[in-house]
Amino acid sequence: MKRGALLAVLPLVFGTASLLSQDSKPVPVASTTVGTAQVESKGMPSNSDGDLWPSCWAGNDKLYAANGDGEGFSTDGDFADIAVSEINGTPGNLSGATISKGDQVGSVWSGAGYNRKPTGMVCVGDTLYLAVQDLALDFNDVPAATILKSTDHGKTWTWDKQKPMFSDHVFTTIWFADFGKGGALAPDGYVYAYGLDGNWRDSFDDKWRIRRACSWRGCRRTRCRTAAPGSSTPAPAGRRRSPTASRC
């Protein structure tokens, strides 16, 4: 073999690869690939009751979570369509208490045949924001949603009780981007909400959904982007109606 000929390409490690020749040291080669990792874990049981459980880590170092259809972490209490709990401990050794539930946590806007479901929660320091939707009892319809605010760690909540923040099936299933304890790792001071028109559960009607992302700064929404059904590219401005700007 010709002197200096390539003998091997070593596996990719930490974003670089090496070329090895007979008479030279490994030469790093630039790569745009960092690598992949697979993380597996088992669920840890806790003394709690409910589903969904959007949560956030507040500035006081406690975890707050909202559940649908259950008693939350106070399992000796009454059943509710929505409840908020304060949680302490570590996985496998969690404890908590339900601190608000039912009519204390949002309105039902759409009348009989609907109840409340929590979809997203975010902590900004020690202020909590919770997205709550109206979900039909057959899971097929989500016409309205509102974002609630709590300044006392979930014990009491405030929201516009005259009308929902989002209606007409527009942006009615909402999640938030999580930037760590109290949002301290947020890169630009914004809170980002993203979600769907209608319901996330599409096992019955096979409807198209519009993906949206909105950002808040100082509790005022500043911009919203939409994507056409089946596309990851934001639609041009004006293609779809964006939710009306409002304060939280």
Which two structure tokens, joined as six digits, stand for 3? 């002197």
Report the CATH architecture of 49-227.
Answer: 5 Propeller (2.115)
Q: What stretch(es) of the chain map to CATH 2.115.10.20?
A: 49-227
Flag whether the pTM goes above 0.75. Answer: no
Number of other residues whose CB lies within 10 A of the CB of residue 114: 19
Please name the amino acid found at residue 19: L
Burial string for 156-176 (b: 16+ CB within 10 Å, else e) reads ebebeeeebbbbebbbbbbbb
The tens digit of pLDDT for each residue in 96-149 reads 999 999 999 999 999 999 999 999 999 999 999 999 999 999 988 999 999 999
pLDDT digits (tens, 9 = 90+) for 3-48: 333 223 322 232 333 333 344 455 555 555 556 667 666 777 888 9
Radius of gyration of the chain (CA): 23
Strands 173-176 and 93-101: unpaired
Q: Provide the 10 A C-beta neighbour count for residue 245.
A: 12
